[in-house]
């Protein structure tokens, strides 16, 4: 699995990242605390690309900026997958659970076209 294109599932990516960290003896640094801190730092780097531009500009980034954003998104995914792995969290199952919770909190027939918080619909 040395080819990046062979990691076509979240589980394959998790395994590849765990192997990558183990080969470098980085497991010792990959605590949930450190990984979550790295994750938020990468999120901040992503946000910097959108700071001070308009909504329209954010939807049509120049190719070089889009490539930078693409790599920031990759960093975020990598740290998210590593953190979940270290905690034993199945991200797909967690996301499906959260979607079910949100489906109950935000019924489509009540919230369509509105972006208020759940408590504001009650």
Cα separation, 101 vs 107, whole angstroms: 10
Structure tokens that stand for 49 in this block: 């690309």
What is the architecture of the domain spanning 9-89?
Answer: Orthogonal Bundle (1.10)
Q: What does the pLDDT profile of the chain (122 residues) look like in tens digits?
A: 345 555 589 999 999 999 999 999 999 999 999 999 999 999 999 999 999 999 999 999 999 999 999 999 999 999 999 999 999 999 999 999 999 999 999 999 999 999 898 888 87
Cα separation, 51 vs 105, whole angstroms: 31
Q: Which residue in the block uniquely carries the two structure tokens 């954003």?
A: 69
Q: State pTM to two decimals.
A: 0.87
């Amino acid at each position: 699995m040395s080819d990046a294109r062979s990691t076509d599932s979240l589980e394959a990516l998790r395994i590849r990242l765990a192997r990558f960290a183990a080969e470098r003896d980085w497991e010792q640094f990959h605590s949930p605390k450190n990984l979550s801190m790295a994750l938020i730092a990468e999120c901040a780097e992503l946000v910097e690309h959108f700071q001070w531009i308009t909504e329209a500009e954010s939807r049509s980034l120049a190719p070089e900026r889009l490539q930078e954003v693409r790599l920031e998104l990759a960093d975020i995914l990598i740290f998210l997958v590593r953190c979940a792995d270290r905690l034993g969290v199945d991200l797909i199952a967690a996301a499906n659970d959260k979607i079910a919770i949100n489906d109950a909190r935000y019924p489509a027939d009540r919230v369509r076209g509105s972006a208020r918080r759940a408590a504001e619909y009650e």
